[in-house]
């Protein structure tokens, strides 16, 4: 396999989670009686440009299908994050009714609806029918395509280059990261700004967040890797912010290479932090498998102990994180009875791989399990606050990542 960015051969394994189905490929009842396709889930690190990436097997069209079940608006904290961002970036860039904003991977309109409300012209680019339909129902205009150089050229030809291009948690999802970045340059006006948010590889390693690894994430990003990717496409990272979202993310600010805005000192500072952490040293990548295995083993030991004690265990959040963890650990119905999720689009379906039923959260109140595992640990406090009645009835909440911990 060659590196997706620099085309050097990949020799160094970062993580091997065996075989698993795509983490967001939820199943219907009829599909439980048919064969289920799995793919190897392995990561490699390029020792030339330091991009961490999945082994090539699954195609984007197989992962981001018409009935894609992830809807961003399910999380109230994420909606608040999006609203705060729109207020901030509108002020910083002086956006108004004469501006034009593009969001790549706009999902269900969770973010762009704030620009619509502010009368700032915008366009979402979203290939999945289910989420695009939801966005259009709330008045967000959507172009139903995958984004890349070709789509960007169409936009530029139609005089739809943007003052702001934003993308939350999409940069890691693109199989051809160079083509995607070329598209950012083509679709960006002179003087325009790019904002991309993505989980920070340094935090993934530091906090053992191996459950954020799944086929839909083709890349695992650091500033060390992103700066040369941008440079190859004629772009420059001139500023950044550290965010608490998704276990610790970066929000980068990009522009055309010739843009007069100066690169802020925080960019060099972050590159220095990543270098000091060891992101340019193979040793830190070679040691990660052992850390992931410890998280998995501790979680399995906890579940087996509860089973032997006759305790009941259910899951909260039919998240890709939970699918990665449970499929790697081989967890089935005997250890976790079912999973609840607030997203109506997932309810009535079954988890890929382990085939646990996905039920509405009200089921937890009926069953009152002894333990509830919160798989999307990044919103664990939000879940606990919403489910105080369960705590009062005796149920306990637990997370497995970055380590086994009883909440609150």
What per-residue confidence (pLDDT) applies to 345? 86
Residue 154: CA count within 13 A, CB half-sphere: 9
**Topology classification of domain 289-407:** Rossmann fold (3.40.50)
What per-residue confidence (pLDDT) applies to 66? 47
Q: Walk across the sheet containing 52-54 and list its strands.
A: 12-20, 39-45, 52-54, 219-220
What per-residue confidence (pLDDT) applies to 299? 98
Pairing mode, strands 142-143 and 122-125: parallel
Please write the tens of the pLDDT for every residue from 167-196.
999 999 999 999 999 999 999 999 999 999
Sorted by where each begins, the domain ranges of the chain are 12-58, 72-285, 289-407
Please write the tens of the pLDDT for every residue from 23-57.
888 999 999 999 998 999 999 999 999 999 999 76
Residue 376: CA count within 13 A, CB half-sphere: 21
Which residues neighbour 292 within 8 Å (Cβ) at sequence distance 6 or greater?
15, 17, 208, 210, 328
In sequence order, what DSSP letters do the residues of 125-184 get, joined into one string? E---HHHHHHHHHTT--EE-S--SHHHHHHHHHTT--EEEEEEES-GGG-S-HHHHHHHH
What per-residue confidence (pLDDT) applies to 44? 97
Q: What is the pTM of this model?
A: 0.91
Pairing mode, strands 101-104 and 162-168: parallel
Please write the tens of the pLDDT for every residue from 321-369.
999 999 999 999 999 999 999 989 899 999 999 999 999 999 999 999 9
Segments of the chain scoring below 50 in pLDDT = 66
Strand partners, 347: none
Cβ atoms of residues 18 and 328 within 8 Å: yes
What per-residue confidence (pLDDT) applies to 67? 52
What per-residue confidence (pLDDT) applies to 57? 65
Pairing mode, strands 162-168 and 396-399: unpaired
What per-residue confidence (pLDDT) applies to 58? 54
In this chain, the answer to whether the domains covering 72-285 and 289-407 adopt an identical fold is yes
What per-residue confidence (pLDDT) applies to 63? 56
**What is the distance between the alpha carbons of residues 48 and 51, in angstroms, rounded to a whole number?**
8
Which residues neighbour 162 within 8 Å (Cβ) at sequence distance 6 or greater?
100, 101, 102, 155, 187, 188, 189, 192
What per-residue confidence (pLDDT) applies to 288? 97
Domain 72-285: state its class: alpha beta
Which residue in the block uniquely carries the two structure tokens 């939820």? Answer: 26
């Amino acid at each position: 396999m060659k590196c997706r960015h620099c085309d050097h051969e990949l020799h160094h394994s970062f993580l091997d989670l065996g075989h698993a189905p795509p983490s967001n490929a939820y199943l219907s009842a009829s599909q439980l009686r048919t064969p289920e396709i799995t793919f190897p889930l392995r990561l490699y690190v390029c020792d030339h440009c330091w991009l961490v990436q999945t082994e090539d097997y699954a195609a984007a069209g197989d992962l981001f299908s018409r009935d894609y079940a992830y809807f961003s608006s399910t999380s109230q904290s994420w909606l608040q994050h999006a609203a705060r961002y729109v207020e901030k970036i509108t002020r910083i860039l002086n956006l108004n009714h004469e501006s034009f904003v593009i969001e790549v991977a706009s999902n269900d309109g969770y973010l762009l609806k704030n620009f619509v409300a502010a009368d700032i012209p915008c366009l979402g680019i979203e290939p999945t029918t289910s989420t695009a339909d939801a966005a259009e129902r709330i008045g967000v205009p959507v172009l139903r395509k995958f984004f890349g150089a070709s789509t960007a050229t169409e936009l530029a030809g139609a005089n739809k280059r943007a003052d702001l291009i934003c993308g939350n948690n999409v940069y890691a999802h693109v199989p051809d990261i160079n083509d995607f970045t070329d598209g950012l340059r083509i679709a960006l006006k002179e003087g325009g700004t790019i904002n991309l948010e993505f989980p920070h590889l340094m935090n993934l390693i530091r906090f053992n967040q191996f459950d954020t690894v799944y086929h839909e994430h083709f890349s695992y990003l650091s500033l060390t890797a992103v700066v040369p990717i941008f440079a190859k496409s004629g772009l420059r990272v001139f500023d950044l912010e550290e965010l608490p979202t998704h276990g610790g993310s970066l929000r980068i600010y990009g522009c055309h290479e010739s843009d007069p805005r100066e690169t802020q000192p925080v960019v060099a500072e972050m590159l220095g932090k990543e270098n000091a952490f060891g992101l340019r040293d193979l040793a830190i990548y070679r040691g990660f498998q052992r850390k992931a295995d410890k998280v998995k083993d501790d979680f399995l030991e906890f579940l087996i102990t509860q089973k032997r004690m006759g305790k009941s265990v259910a899951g909260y959040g039919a998240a890709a994180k939970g699918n990665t963890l449970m499929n790697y650990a081989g967890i089935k119905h005997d250890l976790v009875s079912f999973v609840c999720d607030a997203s109506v689009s997932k309810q009535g379906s079954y988890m890929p791989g382990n085939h646990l039923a996905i039920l509405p959260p009200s089921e937890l109140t009926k069953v009152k399990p002894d333990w509830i595992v919160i798989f999307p640990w990044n919103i664990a406090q939000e879940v606990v606050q919403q489910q105080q009645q369960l705590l009062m009835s005796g149920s306990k909440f637990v997370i497995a990542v970055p380590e086994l911990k009883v909440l609150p």
